Amino acid sequence: MFELIEEYQLLSAFWMTIKLAAFSAVISLVVGTVVAIMRLSPVKIFQSVGTAYVTLLRNTPLTLIVILCSLGIWGQLNIDLASRESSTFLVDNNFRWAVAGLSAYHAAFVCEALRSGVNTIPLGQAEAARSIGLTFAQSMRQVILPQAFRGAITPLGNVLIALTKNTTVVAAIGVAETAYRMKALAEFEPALLMVGFAIVALGFVILTLPMGMLTSYLSGRLAVKR
């Protein structure tokens, strides 16, 4: 079993999965928060843009988004995310487009998770914040968002777990993560396919189980007691 892990570089594949998940998690959290603020803002045009973003990205299959990033934006429009001179141009470019696709897709879910967090806050708080003279930005920053994040821990954790597993989709554009290595394993060692499956499944459980446990712990601890 260890030979198999070594031969098909499964450890580095899982490291790639972790990197993809980590970068995409951070970027999608930032983008998702911005989109959520847009949807909550009193400005109509921002609301529509935010709603359009969520509707479009949330309802498009992830594979399609990732392939579009590679074949469409990189291939047709020739937008490189790495230097063409670099000797690792393709690896970097693919990785960055994969992160871009994953982040764009999951930002829609982060946005909706945050909005659900906002819904846990009594309306009176927003009204009180405005009535003591806080601007929209101030009330968001000081009153609404801190509570929204605490109320949205569970759905955000779910998005993170889904994101981690969804990273396997980017094998479609040749990023050497877990699903990609497993494909190689299936091609060259058909006899050991089931062992490969088991190792990969176990690996994902090891990655996602602590996330779920941490989410439950934090959501109990950080929830705003009302």
Partner 1 sequence: MKHTPFRLAAVLAAGALVLSACGSEDGGDDGEGASPGGGGEDGLTIGIKFDQPGLGLKSGDEYVGMDVDVALAVAEKLGFSEDQVTFKESPSAQRETMLETNQVDMIFATYSITDTRKEKVQFAGPYFVAGQDLLVSADSDITGPEDLDGKLLCSVTGSTSAENVKEEVPGVQLQEYGTYSECVEQLSNGTIDAVTTDDVILAGFAAQDTYAGKLKVVGAPFSEENYGVGLNKESELCEDINTALTELWEDGTMEQIIEDNVGAAGYTPNPETNPAEAGGHCA
Q: Report the site for partner 1 in 91-120 (rule: CB under 8 A).
A: 91, 94
Query: Based on CB atoms, which residue is closest to partner 1, 171 or 207?
Result: 171
State yes or no: residue 183 binds partner 1 (CB under 8 A). yes
State yes or no: residue 203 binds partner 1 (CB under 8 A). no
Query: Based on CB atoms, which residue is closest to partner 1, 174 or 212?
Result: 174
Q: Are 222 and 151 in contact (CB under 8 A)?
A: no
Give how far Cα 204 sits from Cα of 45, 107, 127, 162, 207, Å.
41, 22, 44, 11, 5
Tell me the closest approach of the beta carbon of residue 180 to partner 1, in angstroms. 6
Tokens of residue 170, six digits:
């980017």
The secondary structure of 114-146, three-state, reads HHHHHCCCCHHHHHHHHHCCCCHHHHHHHHHHH
Query: Based on CB atoms, which residue is closest to partner 1, 33 or 94?
Result: 94
State yes or no: residue 3 binds partner 1 (CB under 8 A). no
Query: Based on CB atoms, which residue is closest to partner 1, 16 or 171?
Result: 171
Query: Based on CB atoms, which residue is closest to partner 1, 96 or 130?
Result: 96
State yes or no: residue 4 binds partner 1 (CB under 8 A). no
State yes or no: residue 5 binds partner 1 (CB under 8 A). no
Q: For residue 43, give the 3-state DSSP assignment.
A: coil
Choose, by CB under 8 A, the member of 36, 172, 200, 207 that binds partner 1: 172
Query: Based on CB atoms, which residue is closest to partner 1, 42 or 190?
Result: 190
Matching residue, tokens 């450890």: 11
State yes or no: residue 186 binds partner 1 (CB under 8 A). yes
Helices 89-118 and 10-40 sit at what angle, rounded to 10 degrees? 40
Strand ranges (E), 39-106: none
State yes or no: residue 152 binds partner 1 (CB under 8 A). no
What are the two backbone dihedrals, phi and then psi, of residue 130, each rounded to the nearest 5 degrees? Answer: -65, -35
Tokens of residue 50, six digits:
């935010």
Q: Which residues bind partner 1 (CB under 8 A)?
A: 67, 70-71, 74-76, 78, 87-91, 94, 171-174, 180, 183-191, 193
